[in-house]
Structure 1
Amino acid sequence: MPPTPDATAPGAAVPDRGRADACPGALRLHPADDGALARVRLPGGLLTVRQALALADAAEALGDGELETTSRGNVQLRGLASHCGAELAERLRAVGLLPSDTHERVRNIVASPLAGLDGHGFADVQAWVRELDARLCASDWAAGLSGKFLFALDDGRGDVAAFDADVTLIAGPDGSALLRLGRAAHGRPAPAGQEVTAVLDAARTFLDVLRESGRKAWHLREVPELLPAGPVPVPAFAGAAPAVGVVPTAGAVRTVGPLATAAGGAVAGGLSVGMRFGRAGAAQWRELAGACAGEIRLTPWRGAVLPGAPADRLPALAAAGFRTAPGSPWERATACTGLPGCAKSRADVRADAARALDAAAVAGSPPVTGLPTAGLPVHWSGCERRCGHPAGRWVDVLATGQGYRVTVNGPASAGAAVDVTNEEMAEAVAEARRTTK
């Protein structure tokens, strides 16, 4: 879940943006300790069956045989040979996953995964996703955006609006929509029928004011003073991930929050499944493709929604290793790559985190009033960069070289850090996730 590790907290010093961002893409491979890494942008997390199978084939033929979903609903292939870029690009083009060589890294679009399925939103934002993606790729100026610049299209439930994206479009009742820039507390109405135009205009204005001012930035939140926020208060859910069933008191926006898609199981209009740390092998991906009814929507919570898929496919998906039921400590549990894939890491954080989460599942930690069973999100990091950590309040589990430091992090959090050994970590993390203040 955003923000990405380059993000800045309110009041923090803005990093030097004079250099080009090094965000990997499908054509720009990133060297890692376990081989090269490619990141394939999937606007709105949308995949056809053919595309999903092509990714599974590419992972087996060119990489380590696994695919990794990201906090923006994209897909990464790891363990690639440094010379395989041309073949990977050819495979992606053949199935429509590389529509533009010049714009492929700026196709960063997240959208409400259950839009149009469960009746909780105000708009089927998938049409916005397709229009925005096509127009981004057709706009010469858009190639100047950072590979980290993020668009969020929220159907009114407040799930991806909580990500503090650079440009957020929030659907409202009666065909209305609100445009929010960065972390602004206010937004401005987007004209009906011109919602995507308003999104693109905001991104282009950002580039224009940077050029005119001589400033360097990758994100709108780094230079909030350069663009006017607007007159309309943003609904209360934006800026903090809501829990299932929450209805904001300000405004008429309905919301069921992100956990409806993070938990796993049958959902209105299809199925939702989770993946351990977002990773799944090629065989698992083929099982996923076989269960869907034509489309897969990868979620920013490292899972997938299968619109139209019948509930009788759940047992096979569970047998394949997907999470298919709510209430697991694995819900909203994430981790950076860690050792051996990242040389900067102090530990094999995914192996350590998996042991802690499995121990918590065996212990059967009780639910917390007002929170889902799993409690606060938790993220394991191998170093202080904290790559891929969640937004809002979360449990920060940082490798120290002698164990881990556990802290409740984020807005309004004042919890003391606790240093623990690997053997003590499961209990400490479970306790931190139950934090309500």
Structure 2
Amino acid sequence: MAECPGVAHLAEMADGGLARLRAPGGRLRADQARSVAELAETLGSGALDLTNRANLQIRGLQRDAGPALASALGRIGLYAEGPADRRRNVLLDPLAGLDPTESADLTPVAAALDRALTAQDWIGELSPKFAFALDGGGASGVAAVASDVALLAMDGRLRLALAGVPLGVSVAPEEGASAGVLLAKRAAQAGPDARARDLDAAALRRALAEAGLGQPAAPADAPWPAALRPVFGLMTQADGRFSSILPVPVGRLAAAMLRFAAEAAEQGEGELRLAPWSAIVIPHLDEARATDALERAQGVGFLPPDLAARLRVRACAGAPACVRAREPAKALALAVLAEAARRPELAPETPRSLHISACPKGCAGAAPADLLLLGAGDRDGYALHAHAAPRRPGGALGRCAGDDPAAVLSLLSAMPGAS
């Protein structure tokens, strides 16, 4: 897609218009989730995507559906009118306030940053790709997600990183939103396509100091998170209650799955959270209800948690949803997971990652996988690559027709090591 979509600003895909919904903090009330599911069915094809930045995408929309969708989502608090809609890219750890291992709950920081960005008169000058990640220092390692600005809680303060590189500055939690806005404003002033990698880190450190924000950070005792660490299944919260973390197969949600999550959320405090590792978190449940939600979720299309932990699968939309694609990457990925759920003995015994990409663009992510199936526009099937990413595939091991999910599982199980 040429531009980052929003709610009113749709991306044109081969299967229709695509809208991207940025829920503040990645959180939805149960009633909001039900409304989104209904809109996906009435205005779109009924299919939704849960993205790598915990946004929801509604697929198969009519080209002129943007205004009606924006009006409906605005009534339930899920649309920011104007250019801010496509620029509120704030990823908060979905386990914030739940994870007993986190250093700080950054929920207030994320909310303040979202509000502040929306209110800026220069927000339309910021690249729609400019993104934040807020990590409370817990189990999931959200600071490892590719972002322009990351804030990581450590030792009572928030350390800043620019394009994945620590800036050498830390701020107090109450300064986090102001620091984020300052960095975003500098990017907006640098041009509509400017990203963190285009900015001068030394100049930003000076600007933060001049604004009275932050102080030089001492060398960290713990390393910056190197990779996202997905959490699935039953999690005991810091308050002794439980969360059910439901794995979404390859990020593809049917409207019925979102309705199920809303129903499960109402057994707690009526809130659900979107995770950047293709999962929905249902927090604040007692143990019996959390366990019941996990068991029943598989009946509507969610994956068994143990399978999701062993078999990590990414895939782009593929054909026929994408005009670039010759191969049905998403459909093959879903078939692989369905086969593994039906015949668990075919799944790898130790964790393995699989990436199916219909072309070298690599829309589903840039991280390497143990096994990469890479399609091309000039021939059928996939090239096979070991420990590779679509944009850096290296030499091919051979080819695969991509019509036999069991054969793909066999190939993956035979791969040495894990990435």
Instruction: Please classify the TM superposition score into its range, dividing by the shorter chain length.
Output: 0.7 to 0.9
Shift of the 328–136 alpha-carbon distance from structure 1 to 2, 3 Å rule, reads closer
Is 1:356 matched with 2:327?
A: no
Is 1:136 matched with 2:105?
A: no
The superposition leaves residues 232-276 of structure 1 with CA deviations (integer Å, 9 ceiling, x where unpaired) of 55676536216xxxxxxxxxxxxxxx222xx33445331100111
SS at match of 1:308: strand
SS at match of 2:177: helix
Identify the residue that residue 122 of structure 1 maps to in structure 2. Answer: 103
Identify the residue that residue 12 of structure 1 maps to in structure 2. Answer: none
Cα shift at 1:360: 4.9
Is 1:171 matched with 2:167?
A: no
Identify the residue that residue 141 of structure 2 maps to in structure 1. Answer: 159
Equivalent residue for 1:317, pick from 286, 297, 311: 297
Is 1:275 matched with 2:275?
A: no
Structure 1 CA distance, aligned partners of 2:388 and 2:18? 29
The superposition leaves residues 77-109 of structure 1 with CA deviations (integer Å, 9 ceiling, x where unpaired) of 111111222211111011000133231000111
Shift of the 340–164 alpha-carbon distance from structure 1 to 2, 3 Å rule, reads closer
**Structure 1: 4+ residue segments shifted above 6 A:** none
Going by fraction, where is strand more abundant, 1 or 2?
2
Higher mean C-alpha displacement, 57-66 vs 276-285: 276-285
Is 1:379 matched with 2:385?
A: no
Is 1:67 matched with 2:48?
A: yes
Cα shift at 1:428: 2.5
Shift of the 231–365 alpha-carbon distance from structure 1 to 2, 3 Å rule, reads same
The answer for unaligned runs of 5 or more in structure 1 is 6-20, 243-257, 368-372
Shift of the 113–335 alpha-carbon distance from structure 1 to 2, 3 Å rule, reads same
The superposition leaves residues 284-327 of structure 1 with CA deviations (integer Å, 9 ceiling, x where unpaired) of 21111000121111011121111113322222222112124224
The superposition leaves residues 30-69 of structure 1 with CA deviations (integer Å, 9 ceiling, x where unpaired) of 1111111111112321111111011011011111112211
Shift of the 195–320 alpha-carbon distance from structure 1 to 2, 3 Å rule, reads same
Structure 2 CA distance, aligned partners of 1:119 and 1:384? 40
Is 1:426 matched with 2:409?
A: yes
Identify the residue that residue 42 of structure 1 maps to in structure 2. Answer: 23
The superposition leaves residues 179-204 of structure 1 with CA deviations (integer Å, 9 ceiling, x where unpaired) of 11112244311134212111111111
- Is residue 144–residue 164 contact of structure 2 (8 Å, CA) maintained in 1? no
Cα shift at 1:29: 0.9
The superposition leaves residues 367-424 of structure 1 with CA deviations (integer Å, 9 ceiling, x where unpaired) of 4xxxxx433x3321111111021436664321143322232126xx997532222344
The answer for unaligned runs of 5 or more in structure 2 is 206-215
Identify the residue that residue 338 of structure 1 maps to in structure 2. Answer: 318
Equivalent residue for 2:380, pick from 402, 406, 414: 402
SS at match of 2:133: strand
Higher mean C-alpha displacement, 394-403 vs 32-41: 394-403
Higher mean C-alpha displacement, 23-32 vs 304-313: 304-313
Shift of the 22–234 alpha-carbon distance from structure 1 to 2, 3 Å rule, reads farther
Q: Among the aligned pairs, what percent are the same residue?
A: 32
Identify the residue that residue 24 of structure 1 maps to in structure 2. Answer: 5
Matched letter for residue 295 of structure 2: P
Matched letter for residue 321 of structure 1: G
Shift of the 184–51 alpha-carbon distance from structure 1 to 2, 3 Å rule, reads same
SS at match of 1:332: strand
- Is residue 187–residue 194 contact of structure 2 (8 Å, CA) maintained in 1? no
Aligned residues: 386
Identify the residue that residue 251 of structure 1 maps to in structure 2. Answer: none
Structure 1 CA distance, aligned partners of 2:106 and 2:166? 22
Structure 1 CA distance, aligned partners of 2:358 and 2:85? 29
SS at match of 2:96: coil
Identify the residue that residue 213 of structure 2 maps to in structure 1. Answer: none
Equivalent residue for 2:278, pick from 291, 297, 302: 302
Identify the residue that residue 10 of structure 1 maps to in structure 2. Answer: none
Cα shift at 1:217: 3.8
Shift of the 195–290 alpha-carbon distance from structure 1 to 2, 3 Å rule, reads same
Matched letter for residue 388 of structure 1: A
Identify the residue that residue 233 of structure 2 maps to in structure 1. Answer: 264
Structure 1 CA distance, aligned partners of 2:41 and 2:53? 23
For 1:173-322, list aligned pairs within 5 A. Answer: 173=155, 175-208=156-189, 210=190, 217-223=193-199, 227=203, 232-233=218-219, 237-238=223-224, 240-241=226-227, 258-260=229-231, 263-268=232-237, 269-292=242-265, 293=268, 294-309=270-285, 310-311=289-290, 312-322=292-302
Structure 2 CA distance, aligned partners of 1:379 and 1:338? 12
Structure 1 CA distance, aligned partners of 2:101 and 2:120? 33
Q: TM-score, normalised by structure 1?
A: 0.81
Structure 2 CA distance, aligned partners of 1:73 and 1:80? 20
